[in-house]
Amino acid sequence: MIWPLQILGPPLNFLTMDSPMLYQELCILLIKMERKQGHFLSMKIELLLENSRMVMLVKNRWLSRFFPHYSYSPVRGLYLYGGVGTGKTMLMDLFFDQLPINWRKKRIHFHDFMLNVHSRLHKHNGVEDPLEEVAREISNESILLCLDEFMVTNIGDAYILNRLYKHLFSNGVILVATSNRAPDNLYKGGLNRDIFQPFISTLKERCVVHEIGSSVDYRKMTSALQGLYFVGKDLSGLLFQKFEELIDKHAPTMQQIEVVMGRKLQVPFGANGCAYFRFEDLCDRPRSAADYFGLFKSFHTLVLDGVPIFALHNRPAAYRFVLLVDVMYERKARLVCTAEGIPNDLFERIVTIIDAKQMAFGIGSRLSMNDDLELCVDNQLAFEKERTISRLTEMNSREYLDQHAVLISERKQL
């Protein structure tokens, strides 16, 4: 029998050997998607034909008169959404890696993509329609855009995305995206959400929307590895000793790294690809995705001291920590840290409105409203914490750290 993933390319032995359940589920998903317009396998064929058509039309303007011109690409994209750890990113990466390397294609994390968009907007400041210029640049570079962890959390991005993608789709760009939220739930409850509604309609028109309905978080099925995540207080000395082991004979120094548009981030101690921070210096101060992406362009390992239990008083720090973990996971960076609790305990006091109502009646939680606890009722953070807990668990696994070691070895050879 020929499995769908073998059709996509070489046999994927690492899936069959290490994750047989996930491999089987991916195969079932691809078989189901075979019946849908815009699925990965037919997208590969359609993209091949579209790429050939565009190359021919560019090379021969005379022939181009006899071929139809589209205001949108005739190839529909794909929007994959579902719970954390269900294989969305793996599916997208499998598809992306099977396409010819010389194609105009780009795979990028959504946070990194938006930073790039803001940087381009800054460059085109003063132009009549800077978003049109940005869209033109992006579509000239990539006709296929793969975005991981699609999310919208602020009105600025909501406004930009609505207009930016109108231009991108008009330029023939094909979008493949992964997300934890269905399109109709993007920017849900956000300020002036009505300005974002047209984008949702366009997204559903230009992409096949497919839910991965698995309830299994495969990240939590990895092999735990002790020694990188220390739980308890007053462990700073032990952590710094671990940092010294990682940097070997290199002397740690204070460093400054460029983040974006001339802004710099100060690293208290850095050496041999490892950066040492106290939690409050990295997450309890005004930081953005740009700071974290800049950090992991220069360092592959973060030693972080003092991750706290999150509650109402440190909610902004919790949001930054979620963002930090997202960036680290995207960069396959290594985390060595001390924390006041295991990943689940760090976020236990972050609850949804529904959770808070149930707790008031003593339903569904080991916590209750009578406990002397400082709860933080925040639907958005409570939604995102599940992804962070899942990723923290995987980042301390043998499989993840083996991947990290391979990447570091490959970078040293470049």
Distance CA 177, CA 79 (A): 5
Q: What is the pLDDT of residue 169?
A: 92
Residue labelled with tokens 């000239």: 140
Q: Note the pLDDT of residue 71.
A: 54
Report the pLDDT value the prediction gives residue 152, as an integer from 0 to 100. Answer: 92
Give 207: exposed, middle or buried? Use CB within 10 Å, 0-12, 13-18, 19+.
Answer: buried
Calpha distance 143→130 (Å, rounded): 20
- Edge-to-edge strands, sheet with 274-278: 229-231, 334-339, 301-307, 274-278, 264-271, 253-258
Q: What is the pLDDT of residue 4?
A: 36
* pLDDT of res. 164: 95
Query: In this predicted structure, what is the pLDDT of residue 9?
Result: 38
Check residue 231 and give its pLDDT: 92
* Predicted local distance difference test score (pLDDT) of residue 14: 31
How many Cβ atoms are within 10 Å of 396's Cβ, its own excluded? Answer: 23
Q: Provide the 8-state DSSP code for 234.
A: S
Collapsed DSSP state (helix, strand, coil) of residue 375: coil
The letter for the amino acid at 39 is H
Which pLDDT score is estimated for 63? Answer: 37
CB burial of residue 353 (10 Å; 0-12, 13-18, 19+): exposed
The pLDDT of residue 148 is 95
Q: What is the pLDDT of residue 21?
A: 43
Block means of pLDDT (10 residues each) for the chain, 414 residues, are 36 34 44 45 48 40 42 74 86 83 90 93 90 95 93 90 92 92 92 91 91 69 67 92 94 93 91 97 94 95 97 96 96 95 94 83 56 80 93 89 87 74
pLDDT at 1: 34
Angle in degrees, CA 142, 148, 151, rounded to 5: 110
